[in-house]
Structure 1
Amino acid sequence: MDVKPKPEPVPQQGRRGSEFEKSYTKKLLTDSLKDSSLRVTHFDVAEPGEVDDSEQGSSSQSHQEQAKVANTYRMGPVRKFMPHLLQKQIEELLKGTFTGVMYDHSVCKDLADKLADDILKLTEAQGFDRYRYVVTVFVGEEKGQGVNIASRALWDTENDNFVSLSLKNSSIFITAMMYAVYFE
């Protein structure tokens, strides 16, 4: 039996790079964004000790390419939301906005929108990180009727909280609720 050895593969000179090679992917991104207003500002580089053939010619790397940031895996807030810090301030906003106002649909709608924006700005200014806020303001005409307002949500009792305030005069009733939901 005569066994012929396999011939050595001849390397191709104009070979297209693999999508899995970092240098080729970077070149593809840069070329595809060449005519647009977007540009490649950061691309992950090889770990120290690994040699990337596209970076062999440059002796200095930018600070962006050297920095690596890991996930925090933080499951809870650094500073928990504390509703008592906002209770008085929201109550003052509520009274200041609706004191002496008679019910008129268009006026009350605009005041409720403004109040919701003010409550949201006030809450965001407190600096509780990773919290998302939902603010609702209900305004209705007071005619001696009973009103129940309810809400449902998936709730984390450890981190999520809320502030709820009501105001009532001879013409209108107002209920403002602000929910602070921790975003992991």
Structure 2
Amino acid sequence: MADKGVPSQLSQLAKDSSLFSTASFHEHMKKKDTSSRSVLALGQEPDNAPKRRPRHVYENTYKTEPERKFQASKVKAIIEDVLEKNLKDEKYDPKSCRQLVKTLSEIVKGRVKDLDYKRYKIMTMVSIGQVNEQGFRMGSRCCWDAKWDTFATANFTNKTLFAIATVWGVYYE
């Protein structure tokens, strides 16, 4: 059974010991010959902690429905356009596709945000795989309001790869 006094002993040791003070560590390192030793870079010291941004307080709008509904047909056209332009001549490579899905996701999200759906949270997911006579299933689950929330999905295939992109528009009250 563990001794209940151990955590208090450790905290007392930390208070008493100069090893846990960043200022004393830097003083110690200045006094020593560090030409043949590596120096440990310490994290931000409490004195140099970044300042917090001021918190903005917004008044309630009491809007429970959007000014205009998320239009899946327009979003699907954007997804198809982005996939076609960026993947038309692309060959499947697992290492480059890892970065490519992130890039395509950001491009699609940016273009959908340009449609300016107020108070909608836009989420994107892009998957790329190798064409090799296999099946692929993708599913998603979410709590949402069927009246206002919706999604759009599109796919693309060339000789070496396939891509599936989905964008969800969830109204955020």
1:109 to 1:70, Cα distance in 2 relative to 1, 3 A: closer
Query: Is residue 165 from structure 1 mapped to residue 138 from structure 2 by the alignment?
Result: no
Identity of aligned residues (%): 28
Given the two structures, how large is their TM-score scaled by the length of structure 2? 0.64
Residue aligning to 2:138? 149
1:70 to 1:116, Cα distance in 2 relative to 1, 3 A: closer
Unaligned runs of 5+ in 2: 1-50
Q: Which structure features the higher share of helix residues?
A: 2
What do you get for the CA RMSD once the two structures are aligned?
Answer: 2.4
Tell me which of 64, 69, 88 is aligned to 2:77. Answer: 88
Instruction: Kindly state the Cα deviation for residue 74 of structure 1 after the two structures are TM-superposed.
Output: 1.1
Tell me which of 98, 109, 126 is aligned to 1:109. Answer: 98
Residues 120-144 of structure 1: CA deviation (Å, up to 9, x unaligned):
1001111111010110000111110
Given the two structures, how large is their TM-score scaled by the length of structure 1? 0.61
Unaligned runs of 5+ in 1: 1-36, 43-68
In the alignment, the residues of structure 2 paired with residue 167 and residue 70 of structure 1 have an alpha-carbon distance, to the nearest angstrom, of: 44
**In the alignment, residue 146 of structure 1 is paired with which amino acid?**
G
Instruction: Kindly state the Cα deviation for residue 181 of structure 1 after the two structures are TM-superposed.
Output: 0.6
Tell me which of 125, 134, 138 is aligned to 2:127. Answer: 138
| Greater length-normalized contact order (CA 8 Å, ≥ 6 residues apart) | 2
Runs of 4+ in 1 over 4 A off after TM superposition: none
In the alignment, the residues of structure 2 paired with residue 161 and residue 108 of structure 1 have an alpha-carbon distance, to the nearest angstrom, of: 27
Q: Which protein shows a greater Rg? A: 1
**In the alignment, residue 119 of structure 1 is paired with which amino acid?**
V
Is this contact kept in 1: 2:70–2:149, CA < 8 A?
Answer: yes
